[in-house]
């Protein structure tokens, strides 16, 4: 089988590791459309492309810009030549500060909401016909344990947590609106990336190998669920 993935924020961190592992698969022939905001500086992606060739396509996409998101469709269409997308993986995200509800920056809050929620919403809206032409029809929205009200994580990272909780609700709505799609939220765990920091628990390889197992095994019955990277589920 051969699948097409569209991954945002694919130039570093979890997004890059996901791209790397999908292209290293010996059992499935994956094609990855790796979206990133500055392809010219995506040295790891270009190094990977020199090894895998046409199975990796690097396209510009700044998810904080509506213009860039809309413009990406043309670049992706040029790559696909009529083919569908099997997996849309909304991975790009920001967590600029450990703010609290009474000192958050209004401007920064809006930036976080735009990048972490509004962008995945617009991407799904613009690419849903591509999913219709795909075999798997999966949307993965990268969330966080901090999105869970049930986990009772306290006041830290307010803007980020609110954005990811909103992303969870968006995903629930997507799952309900389109029973023919499989839309889930996935928490990668606490991962050693620029965002997770050096003190995190998981290496990107471990988180992503779990993510690949979970996501590739999804069935329509899983739509609307809140998964962790290891296949367990979080309370909402
Ligand atoms: N690491 C963790 O412990 C952890 C835990 C829970 C959830 N997550 C989630 O996992 C996802 C990936 O996180 P990570 O740990 O890999 O973070 P990271 O190392 O900071 O990487 C973030 C990625 O998002 C991209 N990005 C940010 N803003 C963007 C924009 N406006 N347009 C396009 N790309 C943009 C970055 O691209 P640039 O290089 O251009 O900045 C980078 O590729 C995020 O959604 C995050 O919330 C991470």
Q: How far is the CA of 69 from the centre of ligand 1 (A)?
A: 16
Which atom of ligand 1 approaches the CA of 17 most closely? Answer: 16
Domain carrying residue 11: 2-228
Give me 77's structure tokens.
């269409």
* Best of 32, 64, 68, 92 for a ligand 1 pocket test (most atoms within 8 Å of beta carbon): 92
CB 123, CB 63: distance < 8 Å: yes
Cα–Cα distance for residue pair 123/12, rounded to 1 Å: 20
The pLDDT, as a whole number, for residue 42 is 98
Cα–Cα distance for residue pair 201/121, rounded to 1 Å: 30
The pLDDT, as a whole number, for residue 1 is 79
SS3 228: strand
Residues 6+ apart with CB under 8 A from 105: 97, 99, 159
The pLDDT, as a whole number, for residue 12 is 98
Residues 43, 45, 49, 50, Cα dihedral to 10°: 30
Q: How far is the CA of 203 from the centre of ligand 1 (A)?
A: 15
Domain membership of residue 166 (yes or no) is yes
The pLDDT, as a whole number, for residue 139 is 99
Domain membership of residue 233 (yes or no) is no
CATH number at residue 187: 3.40.50.720
Domain membership of residue 235 (yes or no) is no
Which atom of ligand 1 approaches the CA of 202 most closely? Answer: 3
Strand positions, DSSP E, the chain: 2-8, 29-36, 56-60, 87-90, 138-142, 182-187, 226-228
Q: How far is the CA of 30 from the centre of ligand 1 (A)?
A: 22
* DSSP-assigned letter for residue 114: I
The pLDDT, as a whole number, for residue 39 is 98
* Best of 151, 188, 226 for a ligand 1 pocket test (most atoms within 8 Å of beta carbon): 188
Cα–Cα distance for residue pair 63/89, rounded to 1 Å: 13
Q: With 0-12 CB in 10 A as exposed, 13-18 as middle and 19+ as buried, what is 20? A: buried
Domain membership of residue 234 (yes or no) is no
Q: How far is the CA of 129 from the centre of ligand 1 (A)?
A: 26
Nearest CA, atom 46, ligand 1: 93
- Residues flanking ligand 1, CB < 6 Å: 8-9, 11-15, 36-38, 61-64, 91-95, 115, 142, 144, 187-188, 190-191, 193-196, 200
Q: How far is the CA of 179 from the centre of ligand 1 (A)?
A: 28
Cα–Cα distance for residue pair 62/37, rounded to 1 Å: 4
CB 123, CB 69: distance < 8 Å: yes
Write out residues in the chain with pLDDT < 70, as ranges: none
Instruction: Specify the number of domains making up the chain.
Output: 1
Nearest CA, atom 21, ligand 1: 13
Q: How far is the CA of 92 from the centre of ligand 1 (A)?
A: 4
Domain membership of residue 179 (yes or no) is yes
Domain membership of residue 204 (yes or no) is yes
């Amino acid at each position: 089988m051969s699948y097409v993935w569209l991954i945002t924020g694919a130039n570093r961190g979890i997004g890059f590791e996901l791209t790397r592992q999908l292209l290293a698969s010996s059992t499935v022939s994956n094609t990855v459309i790796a979206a990133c905001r500055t392809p010219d500086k995506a040295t790891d992606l270009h190094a990977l492309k020199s090894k895998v060739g046409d199975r990796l396509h690097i396209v510009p996409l700044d998810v904080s810009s509506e213009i860039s998101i809309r413009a990406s469709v043309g670049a992706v269409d040029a790559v696909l030549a009529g083919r569908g997308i099997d997996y849309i993986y909304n991975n790009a995200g920001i967590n600029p500060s450990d703010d609290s509800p009474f000192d958050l920056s209004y401007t920064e809050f809006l930036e976080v909401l735009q990048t972490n929620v509004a962008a995945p919403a617009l991407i799904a809206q613009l690419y849903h016909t591509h999913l219709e032409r795909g075999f798997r029809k999966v949307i993965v929205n990268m969330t966080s344990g901090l999105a869970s009200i049930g986990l009772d994580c306290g006041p830290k990272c307010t803007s980020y947590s609110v954005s990811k909780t909103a992303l969870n609700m968006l995903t629930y709505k997507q799952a309900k609106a389109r029973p023919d799609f499989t839309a889930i939220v996935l928490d990668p765990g606490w991962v050693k990336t620029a965002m997770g920091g050096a003190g995190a628990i998981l290496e990107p390889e471990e988180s992503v190998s779990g993510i690949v197992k979970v996501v590739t095994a999804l069935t329509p019955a899983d739509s609307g669920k809140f998964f962790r990277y290891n296949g367990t589920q979080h309370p909402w």
